[in-house]
Amino acid sequence: MLIQFNFKNFKSFREEVSLDLSAAKMTEFSDRVVAVGSEKIFPVAAIYGANASGKSNIYNAFAYMSEYVVDSFKYGDEEEKFEEFRPTPFLFDSASVNAESSFEVYFTLPEDKSERTYNYGFCINREGVAEEWLNAKAKTARKYSTVFYRGTTDKELDLSGFPKNNRDNLQVALEKQVLIISLGAKLKIGKCKEIRDWFLANEFADFGDPFTNFFMSRRLPKGFVEDKNVQQKVVEYFASFDEHIKDFRIEKVPQEGDSKEEQYKINALHKMIDSDEMAEIPLGLESAGTLKMFALYPELQEVLEKGSVFFVDELNARLHPLLVRNFLLTFLDPNININHAQLVFTTHDTWQLSNRLLRRDEIWFVEKDEKGVSALYSLADFVDEEGTRIRKDESYEKNYLIGKYGAIPALKSIDILGEE
């Protein structure tokens, strides 16, 4: 499970910020808190903020870190590839433009009976990896121990947490643009592969991106084509918000030319109102909301099975607030979410800003100042002008919309049709 994500000097975030999913000492919804090792972690984080405040950059930062962990072994000694994938720093400050960007996570591995906690991170500058570290802590330990540490010079390379033959292989093959975790996983070093696989298991969906919407709505759930039981599970999933779809009919489309990719025509079956027969509608003609829920299903299926993290940008786009609420309850209900999957999402939907649904430490806000610098803070840590913390019986939605918590647009009259 993700415990904490820290990053610095990435896009609109100049200073280090921390998205902390460890539970604060509060009483509401204590049944949903998951105890792993010495940590208490909650399953959901909702991120609010005005348009262009930087909400999506939290999603982008975690997606960047994950992609670099998975793929950086490809960038060794290839300056052009690294240049294309170098992180975008905060661009409105001459010092930040040339400074390194950092990314760090605290997390636990699924199905790890020892319940160890890991701390992994790295810093990237213009030349490559400036620093990288992996620390681990046993369930009963107070402090982290070093698995490896890498600085800017060969003298600052400590691989003592690996067997000697692994250390030798890493030292020979390591390039300045490549992460040890990425290279070690490629070299089949067990600990590196475990960490890489944790990142690999996490899912991402950016519903503010029309290309994501297009391609995700065409991605089929695992086993959907050949397994009628999977199709029935999808029907049951749809029934939670739309009972009109009773089944699917799947037809393989003949391949054209040299294409080796199998394609399928999917029709949704709806019951006729005047008979027991079924009407067939191509899935692509269903509503945008239905297609989005279909697009969400494969990732939902994966994260619930693996107990991984699902990052979603603009979860509320094209979905009714009650649909969003139902989606959240899938993660919040420990009887459904038995593998402790987590959902981190950005939204403008204030319906979910309720003390009947979310804990104060599950609610986060992003606000951008007049210099273009974004800040991230939790409702649990928010202190009002009188120095008082937010109570759990407050109306979060009302107070947010009147500006009590910040992170709302500064509105002016739209006067484009006014007289000159």
Domains annotated on the chain, with CATH: 1-202+308-409 (3.40.50), 222-298 (no CATH)
Token digits for 330?
A: 């899938």
The pLDDT value recorded for residue 124 is: 96
3-state helix, strand, coil in the chain (%, to 5): 30, 25, 40
Positions in the chain short of pLDDT 50: none
d(CA 365, CA 14): 16
The pLDDT value recorded for residue 259 is: 64
The pLDDT value recorded for residue 104 is: 98
d(CA 179, CA 148): 12
d(CA 40, CA 106): 12
Q: For residue 390, give the DSSP letter.
A: P
The pLDDT value recorded for residue 406 is: 86
Q: How many CB atoms lie within 10 A of CB 292?
A: 21
The residues facing 267 across adjacent strands are: 249, 282
The pLDDT value recorded for residue 108 is: 97
Q: Which residues contact 127 (CB under 8 A, 6 or more apart)?
A: 176
The pLDDT value recorded for residue 152 is: 81
The pLDDT value recorded for residue 282 is: 87
The residues facing 399 across adjacent strands are: none
At 317 the three-state DSSP class reads: coil
The pLDDT value recorded for residue 366 is: 96
- Count Cα atoms within 13 angstroms, Cβ side, for 404: 19
Q: For residue 284, give the DSSP letter.
A: G
Task: Determine how β-strand 44-49 pairs with β-strand 342-346.
Answer: parallel
The pLDDT value recorded for residue 415 is: 61
